[in-house]
Structure 1
Amino acid sequence: MKLNSKGQVTIPAGLRARHNLHEGDEVDVVEEGGALRIVRVADAETRGQRLVRHMRGRGGAGAVEGLSTDELMELLRGE
């Protein structure tokens, strides 16, 4: 991995999947014994909690009736 000019690194997809890390998850970098560790922020919202917060209030009778599949996917993704 390379550190970019902003001090950022990309966590490989396999490691993100293995450790259940998703876009928007909050992590910290901590120093332990001369090494750096990436750890999940303990009290941060989970991916599911973020999705529920995003979708809350968007439902109701007829809220999605008549929408195309693309429109539904756009709504679910928050685009």
Structure 2
Amino acid sequence: MEGLKKDPVSKPPAKVYQYQYEGRTVYYLPPACCDGMSTLMDDDCNVICSPDGGITGAGDAKCPEFFKKATNQKLIWEDSRK
């Protein structure tokens, strides 16, 4: 989140969601705009995949089942800067 705080303010505001997925805690960052891709990361901030976004809306196709299998969605941070 510290890195996101250094980026310019995006519209819509940047958000970070926490989920349980395949037995671990993961963090989902929605796409910032248009054809951008989302990012799914593990506890160590390693990128796992891009579940959605991009031109097709299907992300990078490395975790197409994410939204079906992920549970316990929790918004843990939202950029409040204007």
TM-score grouping bracket, smaller chain normalisation: under 0.3
Q: Which has the higher helix share?
A: 1
User: Relative contact order: is structure 1 or structure 2 higher (C-alpha 8 Å, sep ≥ 6)?
Assistant: 2
The structure number with the bigger radius of gyration is 1
